[in-house]
Amino acid sequence: MSAPSAQRPSAPQHTPKVSEREARQVAEEARERDWHKPSFAKELFLGRFRLDLIHPHPLPAGEDVRRGEEFLARLRDFCDSRVDGALIEREARIPDEVINGLKELGALGMKIDVKYGGLGLTQVYYNKALALVGSASPAIGALLSAHQSIGVPQPLKTFGSQEQKDTFLPRLARTDISAFLLTEPDVGSDPARLATSAVPDGSDYVLDGVKLWTTNGVVADLLVVMARVPKSEGHKGGITAFVVEADSAGITVENRNAFMGLRGLENGVTRFHQVRVPAANRIGPEGAGLKIALTTLNTGRLSLPAMCVGSGKWCLKIAREWSAVREQWGRPVARHEAVGSKISFIAATTFALEAVVDLASQMADENRNDIRIEAALAKLLGSEMGCLMADELVQIRGGRGFETADSLAARGERAVPAEQMLRDMRINRIFEGSTEIMHLLIAREAVDAHLKVAGDIIDPDKPLSAKAKAGANAAGFYARWLPKLVTGPGQLPGTYAEFNPAGHADLASHLRYVERASRKLARSTFYAMSRWQGRMETKQGFLGRIVDIGAELFAMSAACVRAELLRTGDDHGREAYQLADAFCHQSRVRVEELFTRLWSNTDDLDRRVVEGVLSGTYTWLEEGIIDPSGEGPWIADATPGPSTRDNVHRPVR
User: Cβ distance 96 to 652 under 8 Å?
Assistant: yes
Rounded distance, CA 73 to CA 650, Å?
Answer: 31
Rounded distance, CA 78 to CA 98, Å?
Answer: 9
Say how many residues make up the chain. Answer: 653
Half-sphere exposure at residue 598, Cβ-oriented, CA atoms within 13 angstroms? 23
Give the residue from 601, 618, 600 showing the smallest Cα distance to 609: 618
Residues carrying an active site annotation: 432
Q: How far is CA 270 from CA 48, 204, 259, 305, 553, in A?
A: 47, 20, 17, 28, 41
ω into residue 56 within 30 of 0, thus cis?
A: yes
Helix (H) or strand (E) holding 556: helix 540-568
Give the residue from 218, 281, 209 showing the smallest Cα distance to 247: 218
Rounded distance, CA 32 to CA 34, Å?
Answer: 6
Give the residue from 566, 569, 550, 555 showing the smallest Cα distance to 510: 555
Residues ≥6 apart with Cβ < 8 Å to 33? none
Rounded distance, CA 136 to CA 133, Å?
Answer: 5
**432 φψ region: left (φ > 0), alpha (ψ -120 to 50), beta (else):** left
- Alpha-helix runs per DSSP H in 175-302: 289-300
Rounded distance, CA 90 to CA 21, Å?
Answer: 47
Q: Name 239's bridge partners.
A: 228
Rounded distance, CA 408 to CA 388, Å?
Answer: 23
User: Cβ distance 226 to 293 under 8 Å?
Assistant: yes
Phi, psi dihedral angles at 247 (to 5 degrees): -100, 15
Rounded distance, CA 466 to CA 476, Å?
Answer: 16
Phi, psi dihedral angles at 506 (to 5 degrees): -90, 100
Longest CA–CA separation in the chain, Å: 81
Rounded distance, CA 72 to CA 119, Å?
Answer: 12
Read off the DSSP letter of residue 273. Answer: E
